[in-house]
Amino acid sequence: MVLNVPRGFKFVGINCGIKKCKKDLAIAYSEKECTAYGMFTTNVVKAAPVIYDKELLARNPKGIRAIVVNSGNANACTGEGGMKNTLKMAKKVAEKLGFTQDSVLVSSTGVIGVQLPIEKIESGIERAVNLLTDDPIQFAEAIMTTDTAIKLSYREIEIGGKNVRILGIAKGSGMIHPNLATMLSFIFTDAKISYNALKMSLRNSVDKSYNMIDVDRDTSTNDSVIILANGLAENKEIVENTKEYEDFCKTLDEVNIELAKKIVEDGEGATKLIQVEVINAPSEEIARKIARSIISSNLVKTAIYGEDANWGRIIAAAGYSGAVFDVSMVDLRLSNEQEDLMVFEKGQGVLFDENVAKRILCSTKVFLVFDMNCGNAQAVAWGCDLTEKYVQINGRYRT
């Protein structure tokens, strides 16, 4: 894959010895200081790198130069030693690339409760900084854990006569639940954009993307979404409430939604992508609650895996979402990219062709359309089916 990566960014991914042979250490570097913003796990138990990054971004949001990431070890629940190792990772990258420790963000992903093999990581950093290139593929490979494929998304947009590039790189496959997930997502752009505009664009985009996906109802200790903007596109600075801001937000949404869908398509053991669309809702808040409740239901996931048109599970999941609505107004349809089938209309089940339902549920992409018929708001959530292989993968995760 050849990309015109955002100007001034370089990447590397290597094996440093955390894993036996797969890549497990990644660095992204900017030739110029970046304006940066991050969003992190809602889990009360937070890994050392999350604590470190939150504090650093609050203190130095316009001076970030690099991100270093290790996979195979989450550096979570590791106490004082874990925080010291986080600082050592940042310090080593800063020393080798020639700037201050406060310019380096750190992320980790993998097994919880094990101290990092910091000597291997520091040695790996010394090798890695000499291998930085324009190619982000090795970075994407090095941040994977149970992922079966790399996850990248790329867009270009013209802003003020200048070509602006946005590159997103993510990992995630299990422990995926709304309000971020066991996922890391790093977005790199050469746009010149104000801090407030960058902050709001990411917050709104995450609400539409990573906060609307589910694999298994689990939220991790390391979830992070970080955006870096180095301004090397040399466009007029993007600020809020302008057409340029709207165009940037739209493009950023495309990147993050594509990555979010790739995460659930690669869900541990998954065989199907599920999309839940709530339409004609009285408010976006209600639509989001219902969509997220349905996509998070293990009973819905297993029914779709088993190709059983058990619409009762879908309606029940909407009912316990916390949203108040009149079920007598609701229609529910199942569809794929070829066929569409009404299974529930105005509050009750209807006769439907089981053969058509079977064909729809046999598809690798299954769409559930929950029509509330009482407004103009809508929301979309994405997830995957729940299979025996999910249990197998997670039953031996540490071994």
Instruction: State how beta strands 365-371 and 273-281 pair.
Output: parallel
Angle at 398 between CA 395 and CA 399, to 5 degrees: 85
Cα–Cα distance for residue pair 377/286, rounded to 1 Å: 9
Read off the tokens for 113: 């409760």
CB 158 within 8 A of CB 243: no
Cα–Cα distance for residue pair 385/305, rounded to 1 Å: 5
Backbone phi, then psi, for 391, in 5-degree steps? Answer: -65, -40
> If you write DSSP's letter for every residue of 130-171 in order, what string do you get?
GG-BS--HHHHHHT-SS-SS-EEEEEEEEETTEEEEEEEEEE
Length of the chain equals: 399
- Counting Cα atoms < 13 Å in the Cβ hemisphere of 336 gives 17
Nearest Cα to Cα of residue 301 among 269, 324, 331, 323: 269
CB 167 within 8 A of CB 188: yes
CB 214 within 8 A of CB 264: yes
Cα–Cα distance for residue pair 309/312, rounded to 1 Å: 9
Judged by phi (left if over 0) then psi (alpha if -120 to 50, else beta), residue 164 lies in: beta
Indicate the SS3 state at residue 343. strand
Cα–Cα distance for residue pair 70/120, rounded to 1 Å: 11
Active site residue 148: no
Read off the tokens for 369: 């359309």
Radius of gyration of the chain (CA): 22
Instruction: State how beta strands 377-384 and 213-214 pair.
Output: parallel
Which among 35, 41, 146, 182 is annotated as catalytic?
182
Read off the tokens for 218: 């689990």
CB 128 within 8 A of CB 12: yes
Catalytic residue annotation: 182
